[in-house]
Every structure is written in structure tokens, then in C-alpha cells.
Amino acid sequence: MSTVTTEPLLLYSRTQRLPRIRPRNSHLLNPPLLSFRSKTIKLFSNGASFCNFKPHQRAQPVRDSSTDAAVLNTFQSTDVSFKETFRLTRTQRAEGKIFFRLDQGNDQGTWVLSIGCNLPGKWILHWGVSHIKDNGSEWDQPPKSMRPPGSILIRDYAIETPLKKSSEQDIFYEVKIDVIPKAKIAGINFVLKDEETGAWYQHRGRDFKVPLVDDLQDDGNMISAKRGSCPWKGVLRSLLNIILKEESSASKAQGSISELEDTKQKKSFLQEFYEEQPITKEIAFENSLTVSVWKSPERAKNLLYMETDLPGDVIVHWGVCRDDAKYWEIPEAPYPPKTTVFKNKALRTLLQPKEGEKGCSGLFTLDEELEGFLFVLKLNESTWLKWLGNDFHIPLSGSGGLHSQLGQRQFDVSKAETADTNEEVSPLAYTQGITNQIRNLVSQISSDKSRKTKTKEAQESILQEIEKLAAEAYNLFRSFIPTFSEETVSESEFQKPSVGICSRTGSGFEILCQGFNWESHRSGKWYMDLKRKAAEISSMGFTVIWLPPPTESVSPEGYMPKDLYNLNSRYGSIHELKDLVKTLHEVGIKVLGDAVLNHRCAHYKNQNDVWNIFGGRLNWDDRAVVADDPHFQGKGNKSSGDNFHAAPNIDHSQDFVREDIKEWLCWLREEIGYDGWRLDFVRGFWGGYVKDYMDSSEPYFAVGEYWDSLSYTYGEMDHNQDAHRQRIIDWINAANGTAGAFDVTTKGILHSALERCEYWRLSDQKGKPPGVLGWWPSGAVTFIENHDTGSTQGHWRFPSGKEMQGYAYILTHPGTPAVFYDHIFSHYQSEIAALISVRNRNKIHCRSMVKIIKAERDVYAAIIDKKVVMKIGPGSFEPSSVPARWTLAIERQDYKVWETS
């Protein structure tokens, strides 16, 4: 069974701050995607197909309602109080075959390689050849005699050839390539591309390779008949040895060797073969769900009617709520037909087939005093259809609410999750969402631009962009294997600090201070205020400080940048900034600049009265704005990430944009003295561009803000957050490890663990820390609060009174801990300084080893590098004196830290 998902075009709203738009509730921060699974269609050579269905779970039957179509007709004659249609693009995965066949041609000495596929699509063979005397795995364009009709040159190393049907009735798409052994070609390399979806298909994560000689290196991606050793090889080697032993002239020996090489080429071991490889493709289908509500004052009832054209059995798993808390209740009878009770928590109603129409529907009679109707759609035992990662909520008390405000919306199938809390989500479901976005970008750029361009230069420019996206698609799509690699560190590593572990982690012993809050701009002289505290910050043990955005900005906080080279901001002048950086360097602190690269505010309007023309030193026009930004009419390519709706989203695929940004970052490094970067809203553009920028500016330390919502079921955080941390790790991988990322996963899990006294959440299924630091600690920048989540914004504030437990966790664990300014200069200062002292004294670093000793309801305890033991929570815990003796270093409310004696 394959997974599919739907991604909403969500309209964001915000009351206090425009630059980074996030809802207030923590579980709604960038909500997960609406998702469900579909059936798998298996296609065979005869065109047959089948689908497997699992029976629904049995539940207790209850009394049916007597409501019928006549009641519905009566209500439809009155005014509707609520109506919304959710339009869905559902995908089903079809399974088929790619086949490869090498046959001898009609002419003696020629061969024909056939490559085909039995799935419908616009298939393109992207291929090249390798020559006999070439080293490595580089491609070359095949000779003209091998190029089938319709082939297009791709720069200087490959060509693309469309696959075609031999007839309208044929279910196979194929292309035939003439192979001439005397052309001295060692092998044919290729990948298969579906232009409809933008998908690229490889063999075991590598390019397919068909060998044409017997000594071609096999990298595990070879397609050919199974053969023994070449019968000519031993004979040729013997002859060569005899010739080399002869006492003849060098020229004669050289001539003989050349003749033997030619003979070896002529005796190439080509022979017929046929091989198949499995292939899957997602085929899109449009569906919709419509919910309508009518009121009946006479009967003191609400009538809710639901209809959908989703195929198969659709079960509505539902309940009602009486207030804004949206707590599920089972209402009083009557209920619709085919309704059962599920574990005394919810009702399940099988929607009934619509007479004479496709799809199914259901009618629900609900009491007037109820506030809302809550539901999810259950398509099979492990697959649920949710709204923005949460339950559907239909308001009954009035016509307001988010649903009615948004009206109709389009959902695109791209990512998956399940609602079963007992079932672990497959990494396949989450990597598919990323790869599908890249597929769509590749296919849309190719189809849209190729029709509009006439010149060779323009076409080559487009192809270059497609290749960049294809390279990322290769990385993410290969076998849908999770891209993270859990770090293993020997106990002997990092006994002494060593500078330059890698660009993102600095020395590996960094402790980061966020040097501002949401209100810091109000003083107008923040740089000078911070300069006076530089020595104090250094004395506490901080090694890196993150400063606010330095550029001129539409918003005073700096997150709506305008002229990137104008560094006179609400925090102070460029001269004050340089003076601050110089002072921080003098006390041994590295400095990070807050670089807002995703968006930029324009200086001028275009002819359509839209702000998308830029001024200042970087006087870009609307080509620098992505084409799919709905508000700013850009003429660039489609965005490679999520759009930020308050300002023009910059198109990083444009060469001039990237060159200007790299030049600006290097200028900041030299002119101001920044040592690295905090990168804002990196979900907005592909991580590969971040790699380009980091390679150019060479930061000592870099961290990206990849903010994503954790997984929730029925309003409660799931224990398994692997999919969430995988998405953060995927971004780090896309940036090629040139920048780490804030460990939002760890922050979210700490919220639930500490607030609900559920410390068992701090251990994943393998007994490791459940955040990014459990999989890739050196890439994780851990934190509990920042200017968005805390300060005066408070969008996702850490549980009150539990802050020091959070710091006891992140300051004793691996990763790079970050401490918020408001906590440093508060009554927590002495406790934070004590924890930092323990960390530095015991040389805890970003790759330290963690062994979780206890993770129970009211206590969590761990040992780090066999040097430090810590515990948080109200429960009791004392470390064993074997094999080490421990001395209590810190004891405060609900947390303790011990060191080796």
C-alpha cells in the first residue's frame, strides 16, 4: 500500500508581527499536511489491475436515525448557516515495470538496446555514454549514429529522448538505441524521467548502466545479462605477455599492443539479454468533500449534510463539542444509519452510496446548543483524512469560524501521515512530500518555459535550472531511504577542544547566546547597550552571540529587510554595530548575523501598482520575485519552498540573485566582522542554495530556522516525532551540512513532557533523545525560547516555572545549546551560569554520548560522556556509585546535576 497526502494552500494570519507568520497555538505552528493513503494499483504486461482492501474494525452498533431525504429537502429550502467545499487532489500509486532488452540488429555487427515502461506517462530517457579509455563515471553525448529521432542535446554531456508507443493500442512506451561495437563505447548510462510528475527514476540510487564491454566497473547499478568471464580475456593476456617478452623494437611492440586492443574491442562480449525493474508512479485524481449546515429553530436542531466523491467505503469518525476547547463528546441519539460506537470516545458512521451518482453522503441531526461538529475521515484501518493535521471542526453555533472565512480551498496531494497513534509513520511518507514538490517544479518549469522560449540561450538557461532541481531530486528520491545518518562518536574523541570541526559547529564546544528580544529595537541604541554587557556575557561562558537583523527594514524588528547594504537600523548605526562586534571579539565571543534571505521588501511599484521593484545597491526587478507568490506578481521561477506572504519572496534560482547575495554575505563578513549566520525562514527556499551561500561566505558557525509543526492526534502530541525531526534533517542534508538547524523537535517534546508530567516522552523507541540531537547532534541547535516563542510575542511560550528544567536538559546534552536573552538577564542568571560551568568543566560538546538511565512518568535521568549525570522532574533519582563516584554539583527545584569525583 502506498501513501499519499494533501497539502492545503493555507492563508496565514498574525496580529503582532508580519515577518514570520505563525499562529499562536503551539500545535498549530505551520500545521502538518492533510493526509491520507490510497490503494495501490498493480499493472502487469496484460494491463490487468487489482486493489486490496482491508475490512474495517468492528464496533458496537447503535440505533439508527429516522431522518430521510424528505427532511433534507425541507431543510435545503431554508437558508444555509454554513457551507464549505474542500477540493482534494488524490493520488493513487500504480506499480509497473521498466524493461531493458539488448537484441542483435538486422545488420551484422549491430545491436539494438530497447528501454521501455508499461505505465502511462510522458517518459523521457536522459542518457549518455562512457568511452573505453575514459576514467571515472563521467557521461559524454553519444555519437550521432546512436541518437534516436526526437533527441535533444543537454549541454555537452547527455541527450534526452522521448519514449513512444508503437501503436495506440500498445501499453508499452519504449525507445530503441542502435549500438555499434566498433564505436569504442564502454557503456550506456541513463535515468528515466516522467515529465508529467517531474519524477526521476534510478537504479538503487544511482544511474542505470548497461555495459557494452566485459571490464566495465560495476557500482551496483549495472543492467545486463549474467555472464562469466570473457573467453577472450585469458587468450589476449597470454598473447600480450609473449609479445612484451620479445626482443623487438619499441615501435613494433607498441603496434602489436594496439592491434591486440583493437582485437579485444572487436571481440567485445555483447550478447542478448532481457531484464525488468519495478517502478511506481502516482496518478492524480480530483475529489471533493462538501459540508453544509442548516438550522431548524422549530425543532431546536442543526442538520449537517456531508457528501464526497471519494471512492470506496468512507467512514466518518466523529463527535461534538460544546465550547472552544473542542473536547470530543458523543451526542445523544438519534444517529445516522450504519453508525457504531468506538471505545466510548467517538462515533463512526459509514457514508451511504448516493443513488444514481458517484460517491457517498451522510445526514447528521445535532442539538442546537452544540458549538461544533468534529470529525476525521477514515479510509481504512491505518489511514485517516484530517484538516491541516488536526480534526475537522464545523461550527454549529453560527456562520463564523475559520472554515467559512476561507471558503473553498484547493488541496494538493504531496505528503502523508497516519492518525493511528500506535503505528509508526514510515519515512517514505514524509520524503515523498519533498520529492513531489521538486517533481512539480521540474515539470512545470520545463513545460511552461519551453513553449515561450525560442532561442538556444534561453533554452539552455532553463535546462540548467532543471538540472539543479533534478540533482536535489536524485538525493531525496533514491529508494525513499531516510537521509539522516546517526552520528557515532568514540569516547576518545574531543577530549581537547579543537577549532574547526566543521563550518556549522565551530569548535564543537560552542554555547550560543541570543543577544536580543522582540522589544530590543525600542531603545534605538541596542548595540551600545549590548556592548556594555559583553564582558558579563563572556564571563558566563558563552562563546557565540546571535545579533538581530542589521539592515534597514520596513518592520522595526528587522525581519522585513529593504536595502540590504543600509545597516543603519533601529538597533543602531553601522558604526555602532562594528564597534559592538569588535568588543565582542575582544572578550572571545564569535558573532552571528541574522540573515533574512527568503524575502525582501520593494522600493517601488510596477505598472500594476504592485510592490516588486527594488532599489538601493541591489536594484533588482520583478525577475527576482518567485512566480507563484500570489501577492507580488513575480516573473521568476516557481518557489523552491514555502511562500512568506507579507513580502516578495526572492527567487534564488536566478543567477544574478545568488551572486548578489553571496557578495553581500562576504561584504558583511569583511566589513562588519560577522563570524557566521543565523538564517531566517529557511523553509522558503531550497537548502542547496544555502550550501552555495555558505561555501562562498565560509562561516565559522551557521544555523537555519527550519520551523515545522510536530505531529498531534486528537489535540495530543504523538510520542513518535521521527517524521518531524526527519524533515529538519532533510533540510540540513539539502544544505550539505554547511549549516545546522534549530532543534524545534526537542523544544516541542520538552513542552509536553514538562507541562503534563510525561517525562517518558524524552526517550524515543530506540532509547535515544527524541529530537534532532538524538539522530544528528552536531547539526542540532537546542533551545527552549526565542524572540518569537517568548518575549512579548509569546507565540509558543515554554511552560511557566519549568524553564530551568529545560536548560538543565539542553546544557548537559549534546548539540549546541542556545540561551535566550530574557533568561540570561533575569533571576535565572546564576543557575544558567552554573549549568554552563558544569558543561565547560566536563568538556561536554556537540557530539557527546548520551545514555538514558530513566524515562518515566515523573522523572528523566541520563549520563553524558560518563562524566555528568542529570535528572529532571519531581520524581526521585540518585546515580549509582558503580562504576564511578558522583558528586552533586547543582540541586534546584525538580532538577539535579552530578559530576564524577
Q: What is the pLDDT of residues 94-142, one digit of tens each?
A: 788 888 888 888 776 788 889 998 888 888 998 888 887 665 557 888 8
Query: Of all residues in the chain, what percent are helix, strand and coil, respectively (each to 5)?
Result: 25, 30, 45
Contacts of 95 (CB under 8 A, 6+ apart): 40, 41, 42, 43, 278, 279, 280
Instruction: Retrieve residue 541's grid coordinates.
Output: 561562558
List residues with catalytic annotation: 680, 705
- Nearest-angstrom CA–CA distance, 334 and 340: 12
Let me know if 689 is exposed, middle or buried by CB neighbors in 10 A (0-12, 13-18, 19+): buried
Which grid coordinates belong to 5? 497526502
Q: How far apart are CA 602 and CA 604, in angstroms?
A: 6
What's the grid cell of residue 823? 533568561
According to DSSP, the residues that pair with 373 across neighbouring strands are 320, 394
Q: Contact at 8 Å (CB) between 623 and 650? A: no
Q: Which residues pair with 372 in a beta bridge?
A: 321, 395
DSSP state of 25: S
Helix (H, G, I), strand (E, B) or coil at 82: strand
All three cell numbers of 713, joined, read 492526534
Rounded distance between C-alpha atoms, residue 194 and residue 100, angstroms? 17
The answer to whether the CB of 99 falls within 8 A of the CB of 275 is: yes
20, 190, 224: which is closest to 795 by C-alpha?
Answer: 20
Contact yes or no for 637/612 (Cβ under 8 A): no
Contact 512, 758 (CB under 8 A): no
Query: Quick one: DSSP state of residue 455?
Result: S
Residue by residue, what is the 3-state secondary structure of 494-557?
A: CCCCCCCCECCEECCCCCEEECCCCCHHHHCCHHHHHHHCHHHHHHCCCCEEECCCCCCECCCC
Closest CA to 754 of 792, 705, 717, 793: 717
Which positions ≥6 away from 156 have C-beta within 8 Å? 141
Give residues with Cβ within 8 angstroms of 838, minimum separation 6: 811, 812, 868, 889, 890, 897, 899
Q: How far apart are CA 471 and CA 336, in angstroms?
A: 52
As to burial, measured by CB atoms within 10 angstroms (0-12 exposed, 13-18 middle, 19+ buried), residue 804 is buried
Angle (CA) 470-474-477 rounded to 5° is 120
Helix residue ranges per DSSP H, 653-789: 655-671, 687-697, 722-734, 744-755, 772-775
Please, how many CA atoms are within 13 Å of residue 605, restricted to the half-sphere of its CB?
A: 5
Torsion (CA) 525, 526, 531, 536 in degrees, nearest 10 = 140
User: How many helices (H) and strands (E) are present in the chain, helices listed first?
Assistant: 17, 42
pLDDT of 48: 38
Q: Which three cell numbers stand for residue 616?
A: 538601493
3-state SS, residue 815 = coil
Residue 734 burial by Cβ neighbours in a 10 Å radius (0-12, 13-18, 19+): buried
**Lookup: cell for 665:** 554575505
What distance in Å separates the CA atoms of residue 749 and residue 717, rounded to the nearest whole number? Answer: 8
Q: Hey, what's the cell of 220?
A: 551496483
Q: Which residues contact residue 469 at a Cβ distance below 8 angstroms, ignoring those fewer than 6 apart?
A: 198, 438, 441, 442, 445, 640, 686
Q: Calculate the CA 629 to chain-centre distance.
A: 20
Closest of 828, 120, 8, 850 to residue 410, by C-alpha: 8
Low-confidence ranges of the chain (pLDDT < 70): 1-78, 88-91, 108, 133-137, 155, 182-183, 198, 203-205, 215-221, 224-270, 382-383, 388-389, 398-504, 882
In angstroms, the CA 711 to CA 745 distance is 10
CA 525/CA 533 separation, integer angstroms = 13
Which of 466, 354, 340 shows the shortest CA–CA distance to 64?
340
End-to-end CA distance of the chain: 56
Q: CA dist 851 to 847, 856, 867, Å? A: 13, 15, 11
Q: Mapped to the 3 state alphabet, what secondary structure does 263-301 carry?
A: HHHHCCCCCCEEEEEEEEEEEEEEEEEEEEEEEECCCCE
Cα gap 521→592, rounded to integer Å? 17
Q: Tell me the three cell numbers of residue 850.
A: 548520551
Query: Do residues 285 and 91 lie in contact, with contact meaning Cβ atoms separated by under 8 Å?
Result: yes
pLDDT digits (tens, 9 = 90+) for 540-567: 999 999 999 999 999 999 999 999 999 9
Query: What's residue 102's pLDDT?
Result: 87
Contact (CB, 8 A) for 901 and 885: yes
Q: CA–CA separation, 726 vs 86, rounded Å?
A: 29
Query: Would you say 62 and 340 are in contact if contact means Cβ atoms under 8 Å apart?
Result: yes
Q: Which of 366, 381, 380, 382 is nearest to 291 (CA)?
A: 366
Structure-block grid coordinates of residue 3: 501513501
Residue 691 backbone phi and psi in degrees, to 5: -55, -45
Q: If you count them, how many residues does the chain have?
A: 901
This prediction has a pTM of 0.52
Q: How far apart are CA 655 and CA 647, in angstroms?
A: 21
Tell me, what's the pLDDT at 238?
Answer: 41
**What is the model's pLDDT at position 213?**
78
